[in-house]
Structures are given as C-alpha cells and as structure tokens.
Structure 1
C-alpha cells in the first residue's frame, strides 16, 4: 500500500496528524495498535489535562471545536438537567483535575466523526489492530514500513513517515537517533538533569480503570493474585504504603493525605477524574457516578516498559494491572471510609466504559516516550520559571504551536524522583519536529525534541494534539513545496510560509503574556 503520508499510531497526535495532512489534500495511511483511535482520550482513559487559560486561549482551532462538540454532545444526547445544560463551561463529571472530564467512548466517537469525511473519500486509510514490526531505510530515507495486522504482514510506503506511537516505537526500528529516560547535565545543561545519563529512568505509567459507585450495592471483585504484595508494598522513597489515602507530594517530597469523597473543604479522589456526575442528569438516569481511576496509588514505577526485553515488558504490564486491581479490591474491602468503617463494596467495575473484558483500559497511560535527537531540543531553562533567562514566554520565530503545563514528573522507575516546577507557557520550535539525520521521519506526539524534564509538560492532551496537527501539516507542506525538512527549517521564507499555512489551519503560534503556572 502507498500514500503520500504514513502515520504510525492513531493516538491524539496521530489522529490529528492524519486529519491535517488530509485537509491539505494528501492521502494518508493511519495505523493503530488497538481497536480505538484517540490514545490518551480514549484507549488510555485519561480525560484532558489542561492549562488554566484553555477556555479562552492556548489551543488549536480543531481542539477548541472538539471541546465544544464534547459539551454539545452531552447537552444533545443525554437527559441533562436544565441548569447544567445552560452551563457554558459544562463539565460532565464535575471533576477537579479536568475542566472537561468525559467518557472515553464519547471522545472516540467525536474523533471518528472528525476523520470520517476523509475515510469516506478515500484520503485516509485506517488500519486498526496494526503494529509496526520493521522499517526499511536507504540513504537516510525511510522507504517502507512493515506492519502486522492479525498475524499478517503488510508493507506500506509514503513520502513522509510520522511516528505517532505512544512510546516512539518507530525510532529504534528505523535506526533513528533518540534518547530515552533521564539525560545528564552534560547532555542538556539543565539545572535539574541527573549527573549521569540513566536511560531506564522514566516516568511511571498507569493502568487506568473505570468505576461506578452504587452505595447500596455490593460488587467486590475476586481477590487479585498479587494483592498481598501490593497491600504491604511501601516504596523506599515514600513514608506511606502504596495502598493508602496518602500520596506523594511533588512540591514537598513528602506525603499528602486525601480522602475518598469531597467534603466541602478537602478534595476527594473520587471526583479527581470523575466523568459522570449523576447529579447533573435527570434523577435516576445514572445509578451512580462514573470515575476513571488514574490515581497516584496505581502509578507503576517498578520498571520501564521501553527498550526492555519483551518478556520483561509483559511482566511489568501484568504487575501494573495487578496493582490497579489491588487498588480496587482495597477500596472495596479495606480502605478507611470517610464516615468510619472500612471499604466501599458499592464500587462497581465498568469494563464497558473502557471497552475491555477485564475493565482495565485498552492501553496503559504512557507519560514518557522515546524522543528524537532533533535539530532543536526544548530544555528546562526554556520553561522553568525559576531558571528561565527569558523572564516570560520564550518567543520562537519558528514556532509551530504552543502549550502550557507545569513541568510535572511522576515518580520515576529508577531514581524514583518526583519533580514539579512553576513554569511559563511555551512555544514549540520547528526544529523539534525534525530529526538530525533521517530525511522523511517526523515525530508526531511526545517523541519530539524535548527532554526527560520538559516531556513533563509536553505530554498533556492539547500539546500532543497541536504537535500532531503541525506534524501532519509539515509533511503535506514539504510535499507541496518539494522541499526537504532541513530546507524548511533553514530557509526563513519557507519557515514563514509554513507558519502561514498553520495559522490558516487554526494553529496559534505565540502566547500573550499570561503569567506563570
């Protein structure tokens, strides 16, 4: 199979890369290893992490449309109460970590709607349950990618190849220069980089699951096989058990206590990523709230799943699932209740919400990927407000998009460090999307030219969306202008022309002065 552009991975970045390339008239082959497009929003079951200005500024036009359509979908299709229906900032889950917390399947439907016209006219060919297995390279040019779908292999080729896999899986297959894990100070010059390079020191990942709360019911699962292990597990860097209401506090490095439910003064973890607040809908329509459980208690930091033998990877995925199921069993049976006593047996696993049989999301929530060695690398000093020499947003003449989030590292897999820093919003340089050597490979999600530290704010939903959208447009622009990626980067006129195309597509390139996160 052949197309103008190959996009390997249909998470947020990959889906938007395919959409923007198609909008610019190009044919696209889009592959995805699960049977759902949408990545973090859908298969990983993580509602949006966003910056505080998102309702008015700081995202692409298509991301704004997506957010508006999400709210409209609930208003149109659900029996929502009139006072909630009229809320311009409707949050279906009334979550406190996300301004628009929603069910994964609703996001999946809306993303499918966005690319459906291009599926219908044949510009996008979507191959689900398809993984890359090898890459053919000649003269620093990728000539084809071999993918496997249900045991059968297929060779696909295109003028440009975009790696939008969750872990940057195409990079080692193509022999691309990349980094993984925590760089050293010598490599990046970052104040908080490690003294030595530790490629195995990556952010923890999470196996998310969906729950409904039925206070009158009893839905306790069978005791997980590793429950006794996780029940007594205490990481050496923490002063509390993993399964407890104490969670690590990145600001202090110590523990911070939470509770199950909001009580008016203290925040509860149940509402943290709640996606359905039953009180917003007609009485009795939902028999209880729905919440996606992506809490510090089920972060898995006992080892990375990138660049390790497959048997090690599978074992760690299994352990992480057991951790999530053990958290559920603890919540149902032994967790100290807000009102006294122990356990909430009314917590009901909802496999249908995440589209799986075991109730665990289709794909683990990946916070950190392999990252290309790029022409430009975004480093801590560009973003960390305490160390930035720019005293505000670093303005990029060659910006291809914007983002904002505090540099936020969950406990890592070797040094177990947490990191949380006050940050300026940032502008993404064109060179972060261009590898140092390979001529037709473009990263399209968390695998751009950033570091272990700055990945901590590049990984969030609106940023990955922007990266994917700009990456797809870059491939199409290069084809239209018969220009290499290097020439677009080095030629100011070509850079400006590409930026004009991005602005036409609705990609904002620069921040106003908005302050520090």
Structure 2
C-alpha cells in the first residue's frame, strides 16, 4: 500500500459548510489546517448539494448569523452586480435576490456560492495555511486513551499516493453524516430518541436509531416552452410512479404534498405560476431569473428539492454498504423519476399532461447528468455531549412566556422552525413553531473524547432539535465555533472539557468568537418582538 503522512495543527474531515468554516476559523487564528472533501466542491449543502440558504426574517438586518455569513451574503450579491448584466433596478437593490426564489432571500447558483467561499478561503489556501485534499474520504481512525492519534484517508486520484495518514492536535468532524463518530468509538446517537430519554412531546415511544429524516438528491432544470428534452425512462420509474407514502392518499409523484403549516393536511401544488391561485413550485427554488438581466442569456433555472423527491424508503446512514449504496441510487432514481414525470405525465392546469420542455442543467451543479454532486443529508449522527439540545429548548409552545432560552456558554445563534421531513421508517413529519435559539458550548463537547469536535450537524442535540439546527447559517456558526474552539484549546494547552468547566476560559473563548464576528445572544428587541401575541 502506497502511503505517506501529512501533519497539521487541525485536521478537518469533511468540507461541508460547517467543515469549511471550521477550517477558515482555525486558519484565522494562525493554525495550519488540513481540510478533506469527498467531492471536488467545498461547501456541502450550499454548493455540492445545491440547496439555497434557508434563513429567517432578521437576516437582512444583519442579525441572527455570524458576521462572516453576513459577509458571504453580501459577497454573493456583489458577484452578481460585478459579473451579470443586471438591470438598473436590480443593481441598486440592496436586498437583491438573484433567482427571486421564494424559499430564500438569497436564492442563487451553487457555482456562485462556491466561488465566493473559495474567495473567502483564498489567502489561507494560497499561503498553504489551509491545505485542501479533494476527493478524499476517511478509512481508519487510530485512537489511544480517548485521544485520536491519526486518521488514514483514501485519496481517490491515481496520480498521487492513495492512502495518507493525517496527524494533528485536533480533529474536527465536518462530514454530513458524522462519519468520524463510529470510526473513533465516540459516543453518539442517531435517528429517533425515545420520549422516556428526552421528555419531548413529539419523540417516539421507543428509540429507533435508523428512523432518520429523508434525504434529497437535488436536480437543476430549466424550462424551454415548446422544447422536448424528455430523458430516457428511469429504471425505477414504475416503482416511484405508484409509491404512496403512509401519510398520503396520493402517490409521491403527484401535485399533493404535506402542508408545511399543518402537516396533518395535504396541499395542492403545480409547476408554473398561474392565475388560478394554485401554489407554483417553479419559483420556489428558482435560482436564475433572467427578468432582472438586460440581456436574454438564459432561461429561468430552478432546483428540484420538493416533497416529491424526499427519499424516505430506507436509511443511508448507519447501515451496511450493501444497503446504503442501493438506497443512495434509489434516491437518484426518485429524482430522475420526478423529472420524467414532469416531462411526460404531470397534470397541467389547462387539462394537458407533461412539460417536455423541462431540461436537466448539469452545468449549474457541475455534473454531467444534472443531479447535484452529493445528496442533501438532513440528519447526521450526533455526539453525546455535555449538554443536549431538545425540543424544550426551542419550541415556542413549550417555552411559552419564557421566550428565548439563554445559555451563559452560548457560541452562536439562529432561528428556524423545528422542521422534520418524513422519516424513513415511521414517516413522521412535523413543522413546530420556534423561538429564536442559541447554541450552547456544551453541545460541542463530547462526554469523553479529548481532541475530537463536531463541526456540522453532529452536535449534541435530539433528532427533533436537529430539525432547526441543520440550516445553513446555523451549520456555518457551528463550524466556525468548532474551529475557534480548537484554536483556543491549542493556544492555551487545554482540552475542550477543561475550557467548558472554567467560566473564565469560557468567557475568554467567547471573546475570541465575538472578535471573529460571532453573535452570542439575540438582541432584546427581537425577544420583545417574538413574545408579542399573534394578531
């Protein structure tokens, strides 16, 4: 076996959004970082998974996300202003939404997000403070006395050593599925907890570690009226055409899906904007809107990340490869089946069927087939930490007049409903109203391991809490907090557990976060706003 060794202060495994920001934060503190990524795009859900940023209503005020995330958003807008033929109105719009998708205030192309992220990393990558190993996955973790000694990775290219040993002082798990946790023997949970464990009203009666949220393999498409871009019939099309989830009387490939505001009801959708009042999905995740351009260079482009291609027929995390690989392929088949159904059989409001002008756009997502480089993974394995976030910390109903839960050891803030997509076994789904929330340091500290930190959706929280902590700005914040925590630990020759147990060190670490632009607590005016009775 051809193998060699690389060393750094911090090893970040997984170039997810959180993993990427963990590397950037540690590098800003003067540390040498090695960052690995299984694809050739950094940025996870924002780029290789092609999911526009889900945010909250205070984001345009610069509240509720790290300063670097706010900077990222403005850099995206500037990219469009500098490089696209925008109309005068769009150029001067301070809250420009490039795609005018209604799921996000900043619906934009994954390639633009990638370019901006790479620009933010550039000085550290170009000076080798951050070394990025693309197409690289972990294969073995060497642990001794609750401490990771090294991680062996497989570098998938043939023109360089295939196996490399990575040695660092701290190891951060920035993978979307918490891959390092089982590999290192770190205590973790997955799937659904039992109500007896968490006292959460929406928890299952019995725990089920494989009852995880559905994944989605996103596709990029445009629509050319009068064109015919019908793909070959997918191998699993007949299966998905008839597949009917337990919570619906309609097949998954239909215009009826769960209503986000009331998950006990179904809502009718259609493809295109219309005058009949039926909700259009086309502009839901539209990321290219040429109506704000002065030149007609493109058709509109939208991303297929809908209820119709949520894959909940089986788990992909924590199962043997002989089950994982077919399920990942079936998730792809479901999305291709959605495309084929749209092209050939989807009912139109005018009484016809099909939109053959739907065209897959691989150039948008950097692939040959139009599907994103990686599936959108909503739920990870999660460490058992010093503090576990639960439904009680976030739910508006459960907290009542207490309002926002404050933590003295907060390392960041966010806001989003507790949004659980259908799970793969019980098909539970809900959308629970929330209060804005904070991220406690205790949720980043493993109960035993000394030099492993979560940097993604793998902090100590329940499945239900993960429904809101998985969003872009929160994952970004978690990664940044983990990178700074590793730096503080190295600089002060302390373990994360020792930092957590010292109010003085927690305070000094929080000062580091604040200096880096991380917001630790929600402003009082937001708390007053959310406590006002609904009109």
CA gap of 1:32–1:252, structure 2 versus 1, over 3 A, is closer
* Partners of 1:379 and 1:194 in 2: CA distance: 14
By how many angstroms is 1:268 displaced?
Answer: 0.6
Q: 2:323 aligns with which of 287, 302, 312?
A: 312
Task: Tell me which residue corresponds to 2:450.
Answer: 439
CA contact (8 A) 2:268 2:278 kept: no
CA contact (8 A) 1:141 1:438 kept: yes
CA contact (8 A) 1:41 1:104 kept: yes
Question: In the alignment, does 2:127 pair up with 1:121?
Answer: yes
Q: Give the TM-score, by structure 1 length.
A: 0.98
Q: 1:155 aligns with which of 158, 165, 175?
A: 165
* Partners of 2:404 and 2:474 in 1: CA distance: 16
Runs of 4+ in 1 over 4 A off after TM superposition: none
Task: Tell me which residue corresponds to 2:57.
Answer: 52
Q: Deviations over 1:43-85 (max 9, x none)?
A: 0000001111111111111000100010111111001111111
Q: Equivalences for 1:444-463 in 2 at 5 Å?
A: 444-463=455-474
* Partners of 1:198 and 1:447 in 2: CA distance: 17
CA gap of 1:390–1:126, structure 2 versus 1, over 3 A, is farther
Moved more, 336-345 or 441-450: 336-345
By how many angstroms is 1:390 displaced?
Answer: 6.2
By how many angstroms is 1:262 displaced?
Answer: 2.3
Question: In the alignment, does 2:471 pair up with 1:478?
Answer: no
By how many angstroms is 1:208 displaced?
Answer: 0.3
CA contact (8 A) 1:226 1:323 kept: yes
Task: Tell me which residue corresponds to 1:9.
Answer: 14
Task: Tell me which residue corresponds to 1:362.
Answer: 373
CA contact (8 A) 1:396 1:429 kept: yes
Q: Deviations over 1:154-185 (max 9, x none)?
A: 10011110000010000000000000000001
By how many angstroms is 1:267 displaced?
Answer: 2.8
Say what the alpha-carbon RMSD is for the aligned residues. 1.2
Q: Secondary structure at the match of 1:240?
A: coil
Task: Tell me which residue corresponds to 1:143.
Answer: 149
Task: Tell me which residue corresponds to 2:287.
Answer: 275
Q: Equivalences for 1:421-440 in 2 at 5 Å?
A: 421-440=432-451
* Partners of 2:494 and 2:203 in 1: CA distance: 36
* Partners of 1:80 and 1:218 in 2: CA distance: 29
CA contact (8 A) 1:13 1:164 kept: yes
CA contact (8 A) 1:12 1:468 kept: yes
The number of residue pairs the alignment matches comes to 516
CA contact (8 A) 1:177 1:373 kept: yes
CA contact (8 A) 2:415 2:468 kept: yes
Q: Secondary structure at the match of 1:454?
A: helix
CA gap of 1:126–1:361, structure 2 versus 1, over 3 A, is same
* Partners of 2:51 and 2:274 in 1: CA distance: 24
CA contact (8 A) 1:182 1:194 kept: yes
Q: Equivalences for 1:112-511 in 2 at 5 Å?
A: 112-150=118-156, 152-250=162-260, 251-263=262-274, 265-286=277-298, 288-388=299-399, 391-511=402-522
* Partners of 2:246 and 2:480 in 1: CA distance: 41
* Partners of 2:514 and 2:279 in 1: CA distance: 40
By how many angstroms is 1:127 displaced?
Answer: 0.1
* Partners of 2:74 and 2:42 in 1: CA distance: 19
Q: Deviations over 1:345-392 (max 9, x none)?
A: 111111111111221111000000000000011110000011126621
CA contact (8 A) 1:239 1:255 kept: no
Q: Give the TM-score, by structure 2 length.
A: 0.95
* Partners of 1:4 and 1:180 in 2: CA distance: 29
By how many angstroms is 1:254 displaced?
Answer: 2.4
* Partners of 2:193 and 2:382 in 1: CA distance: 11
Task: Tell me which residue corresponds to 1:90.
Answer: 96
Q: Secondary structure at the match of 1:147?
A: strand
By how many angstroms is 1:266 displaced?
Answer: 3.9
